[in-house]
Every structure is written in structure tokens, then in C-alpha cells.
Amino acid sequence: TKTYLTGIQTSGMPHLGNYVGAIKPALEAAESNDTLYFLADYHALNSVKDPEKLRHDVRSVAATWLACGLDPERTLLYRQSAIPEVFELATILSSVTAKGLMNRAHAYKAARDRNAEAGVEDLDAGVNMGLFNYPVLMAADILVMAADVVPVGRDQRQHIEYTADIAGSFNHIYGSSYAFPIPRGAYPEGEGSMLPGIDGRKMSKSYDNHIPLFLPAGRLKKLVRRIPTDSTPVEAPKDPDSSAVFQLLSHFADEERTAAARKRLEQGGMGWGELKNELFEVLDATFGPMRERYDALMEPGSELDGILADGAARARERARATLARVRSAIGIA
Ligand code: TYM
């Protein structure tokens, strides 16, 4: 068996993209592997500056994992912040990480590009060190648990490659005493595996185009209606593959239903409005039952807090064991 690990930032209720890119594949892997899934609350701190919101979002992401079927007997579910070894390892890894590597990180470069486009003279304006160090902390999350496989969406590919690079630098220097296993990413299959949001761009909280997993049916319906479509008349043939609505449908409907919708769109006779109704029905049928469990877990005093405490205690043992070896390898102990 392999050790699988993945994390989700605690910056709001997880959305359909998080489900397809991480939650679903991670829960499938949990059936036959060692699994550690965590809440990246210190990663979220870069963007969430409201303490009440952060507290709420930590519970929300935990409740989502459980509502989607995570079995806490089988999978360790914990908060990143409950494992101090992560932060010690991040400091150690900083000393073997080239700054140039961080300069080339996508999220950091995107922030600089935005400044350039807006004509801001200081390209680093608004960039905090948390954003700059983000990939090092992520490498620590993964390496502290000596994970082999990291199920994530394709947008995380660079982060996984950086983790492998950083582990390689450490191993190159200290490998005769301790070497990290080099982790690999496991990405959903297919070109369209990054889910589009309601504006057609990649679904992302930072674009505010996301569909949260457990909306009440009325609000879910409204969001689905907002997905832009062109004005091709109902009877005219349409290209399913250029439609965000169809892409979303194909991720959640079974093959038969997806194929039937494709055919009717291509032949003409199915309007975008009808396709949106199908998408709403499929989403509501998939997530409606989980939504009830989610709501119960979000109640104060639910079993959620105990599950997180237990997961943290067990995950921490593993982190402590890694740190003991690392400290000894580097000459700190
Ligand atoms: P985060 O919180 O942005 O996203 C969580 C997971 O959801 C995937 N994802 C998507 N997949 C398909 N389509 C989309 N539109 C979409 N949007 C998001 C992401 O790829 C991710 O797998 N850096 C990570 C959190 C993290 C982490 C880690 C992950 C911190 N430490 C260690 C793995 C291992 C992030 O920001 O994910």
C-alpha cells in the first residue's frame, strides 16, 4: 500500500472543482491505501484575514470531507495547524530551496503580472511572504508525512514538481542519513479535468465563479441559470464541447445521460435552458443527501471536533517520527 495525502485550503465551502479534482479521487484511493487528508488552514491565512471566517471555514471543509464519505477510522483527517512539525520542516526545507525556483512559481508570477497589467510600478505590491513561501509550506505538508501519492487537480502540478525538487535537494545533501520518498501527483484524467466555473474560466474561489457543494436547492438553481450561454435557438445544432454547462454535466451525470444530451445538442432540439435544468437535477440528486449530513456536522458540538482531534493526534505521531530522523540527519539533534 501507498501513502496518499492531500489538502484543501480553508477559504470557504469547497466547490464542485475541489470535489472532482481532489475529494472524489482521494476517497476512492482511501479504499485500498494509507490516507491522510488535511485542512490547509495556514495556507488559507494568506487570503482569509477574518478570524471568525477562518474558524467557520475550517469546520466547513472538515464537514465536507465527512459528508462526502470520508471514514475517519480509515483516513486521518486533521488540521495542518495541529501539526507543528510541518512548520519546523518548512523552515528546514527553506535552507535547501533555491529562491529562483520560488520566483518562477505560478501564483507568485500571476500576482506580479496583475500588477504589471494594472501599471503598478512595484511588481511585488500586495504580495506577502506567505504567498511567496507557499510552495515550501506545501512541500512540508507532503514530506512530513512521507507521502507517496498526492491526488490533486492539474492546477497543482507545479507545486508537486517543486516538492519533488525540494525533496531531491534535501536528499542530495543528507540522503545518506535520511532521504524523503519522492512523491508523485495523481491527476484526474482528460483535458477537461479542470472544471469550468459559471463564467467559463477555471472554477476558483478567487475568481468568484464557483458553485459551492452544499447550497440549498433554490440557490443552486439560480447559480446554474447564471452560467452564460450563447443565443443559438433551441432547434439549431450546438457544440457541446464549447459549453461550460455541458462540461459540468459530463462530470456528474452518468455516461448514458451525458451521451444523450450530447446527441440532442449536436442534432439540435435541445436548448441551453433545458440543459441547465438537467445539470441542476443531477447536482441536486448527487449532493442533496450529502447536504443533510453536512448541515448536521456543522452544528456546534457535533462529532466533527472530536474527529479532527483524533486525526491530529495520530497524524502527529507520524510527523514526529519524520522530524526525529530529519533533525538527526541535519545535525540539529
Ligand atoms: P485548493 O484549496 O485551491 O484546491 C483543493 C483541490 O481542488 C482542486 N481544484 C480543482 N480541480 C479541478 N477543477 C477545478 N476547477 C479545481 N479547483 C481546485 C485543486 O487542484 C486541489 O487539488 N495548494 C493546495 C492546498 C494544499 C495541498 C497541500 C494539496 C496545501 N498543501 C499538500 C496537496 C498537498 C490548494 O490551494 O488547493
Average per-residue pLDDT for the chain: 96
| Residues 39 and 80 sit within 8 Å (Cβ to Cβ) | yes
What separation, in Å, do the N-terminal and C-terminal C-alpha atoms of the chain show? 31
**Distance in Å, CA 204 to ligand 1 centroid:** 10
Ligand 1 atom at minimal distance to the Cα of residue 43: 30
Domain layout of the chain by residue ranges: 3-194+303-330, 214-294
The whole-model pTM stands at 0.96
- ipTM of the complex in this document: 0.99
Fold annotation for 214-294: Tyrosyl-Transfer RNA Synthetase (1.10.240)
Q: How do residues 301-326 score in pLDDT, each as one tens digit? A: 999 999 999 999 999 999 999 999 99
Q: How do residues 127-162 score in pLDDT, each as one tens digit? A: 999 999 999 999 999 999 999 999 999 999 999 999
| Residues 247 and 262 sit within 8 Å (Cβ to Cβ) | no
The CATH architecture to which 3-194+303-330 belongs is: 3-Layer(aba) Sandwich (3.40)
Nearest of 26, 21, 9, 325 to residue 177 by alpha carbon: 325
Calpha distance 326→328 (Å, rounded)? 5
Stretches in the chain below the pLDDT threshold 70: 191-192
Q: How do residues 165-191 score in pLDDT, each as one tens digit? A: 999 999 999 999 999 999 999 999 876
> Which residues have any ligand 1 atom within 6 Å of their CB?
5-9, 17-18, 20-22, 40, 43, 138, 141-142, 150, 152-153, 155-156, 159, 194-195, 202-204
Nearest of 307, 262, 265 to residue 76 by alpha carbon: 307
Look at ligand 1, atom 6, and give the residue with the nearest C-alpha.
18
